């Protein structure tokens, strides 16, 4: 009887499996890091970015009109209907005054914010990097940031008079502490490993500040800039409401005060809506794109 030798089947890992796995892993990482440069369809943009705020606005208008139509608030001197506010918009537009109201305030606010940026940035770096300066004026900056901006209007009027310099002084006193503290917070959150790696590569002194510290502190700095703009805008509105003069022109804050003096609620609501719209537009056009760019650069935001 012939003896049959058992066939030994040994399972041996293929050497090629490991390179294939590594290739697949590398392809997956490349896919994660890839940036899709294709244009986003308008339908998706409308659905995700345009439709939600339009829906919110429509709901607010419906509730507003409902409060008036159903007599919940039947006194037009307290809550005018949306149509009355729209009539006020048309009147200001026909007179050619609407854009003037907006430009007067926006030009002041942006110029004052740029001044605050030029002062608050080096001040924040100085406080963040020099221990004696931080111990000396760090608490003062925090206190100034919590001080209501309207408190600076009376002394600014007494110091500088009723002019644009007074407006800019109020903006600076309101915005500089926020910008400086935002940068200080960003610098404090820089991982020590980054600083050690920078020193190892020769990035010390000004080079380390420019190439290591500032890029790593950018998220905190950007948050300080957004807050600084909010303080700038609110400070300006407070100054325009309190300090009025024919030489200053009519900005949005002065328009709000004029509506109060005339007991015109449509004018008051017009001023409030314009102030709100300007704040939203500045955020959408300037700060939101900057924030998305910073987050995308750190891999925290992926464009689909």
The string of pLDDT tens digits covering residues 215-236 is 777 888 888 899 899 989 999 9
What pLDDT, on a 0 to 100 scale, did the predictor assign at position 300? 66
Q: Is the predicted pLDDT of residue 4 greater than 80, yes or no?
A: no
**Closest of 230, 252, 179 to residue 244, by C-alpha:** 252
Of the pLDDT bands very low, low, confident and very high (cuts 50, 70, 90), residue 5 is: very low
Res 214 pLDDT > 60: yes
What is the distance, to the nearest Å, from the Cα of residue 301 to the centroid of all Cα atoms in its chain? 17
Is pLDDT at 205 greater than 70 in this prediction? Answer: no
The band of 121, judged by pLDDT with boundaries at 50, 70 and 90, is: very high
Confidence at residue 11, expressed as pLDDT on a 0 to 100 scale? 44
| Mean residue pLDDT across the chain | 81
Please check whether residue 73 is in contact with residue 133, taking contact to mean a CB–CB distance below 8 angstroms. no
Q: How confident is the model at residue 12 (pLDDT cuts 50, 70, 90)?
A: very low
More confident residue, 172 or 49: 172
Per-residue pLDDT tens over the stretch 268-299? 999 999 999 998 899 888 888 888 888 777 76
Read off the pLDDT of each residue in 12-28 and give the average, rounded to a whole number: 50
Give every CB contact of residue 299 below 8 A, 6+ residues apart in sequence.
33
pLDDT of residue 72: 80
Report residue 235 as tokens: 């400070």
């Amino acid at each position: 009887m012939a003896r049959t030798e058992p066939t030994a089947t040994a399972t041996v890992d293929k050497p090629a499996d490991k390179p294939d796995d590594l290739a697949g892993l590398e392809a997956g990482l490349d896919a994660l890091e890839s940036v899709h440069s294709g244009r986003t369809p308008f339908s998706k943009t409308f659905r995700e970015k345009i439709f939600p705020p339009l829906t919110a606005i429509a709901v607010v208008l419906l509730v507003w009109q409902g409060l008036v139509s159903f007599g919940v608030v039947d006194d037009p001197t307290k809550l005018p209907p949306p149509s009355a506010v729209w009539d006020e918009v048309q009147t200001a537009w026909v007179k050619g005054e609407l854009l003037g109201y907006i430009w007067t305030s926006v030009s002041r606010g942006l110029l004052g914010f740029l001044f605050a940026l030029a002062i608050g940035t080096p001040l924040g770096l100085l406080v963040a990097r020099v221990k004696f300066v931080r111990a000396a004026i760090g608490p003062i900056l925090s206190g100034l940031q919590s001080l209501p901006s309207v408190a600076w209007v009376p002394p600014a009027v007494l110091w500088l008079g009723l002019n644009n310099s007074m407006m800019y002084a109020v903006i600076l006193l309101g915005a500089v502490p926020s910008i400086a503290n935002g940068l200080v917070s960003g610098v404090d959150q820089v991982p020590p490993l980054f600083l050690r790696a920078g020193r190892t590569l020769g990035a010390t002194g000004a080079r380390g500040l420019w190439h290591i510290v500032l890029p790593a502190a950018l998220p905190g700095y950007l948050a300080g800039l957004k807050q600084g703009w909010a303080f700038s805008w609110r400070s300006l509105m407070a100054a325009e409401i309190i300090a009025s003069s024919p030489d200053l022109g009519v900005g949005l804050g002065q328009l709000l005060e004029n509506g109060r003096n005339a007991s015109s609620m449509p004018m008051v609501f017009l001023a409030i809506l314009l102030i709100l719209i300007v704040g939203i537009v500045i955020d959408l056009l300037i700060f939101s794109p900057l924030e998305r760019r910073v987050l995308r650069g750190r891999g925290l935001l992926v464009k689909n």
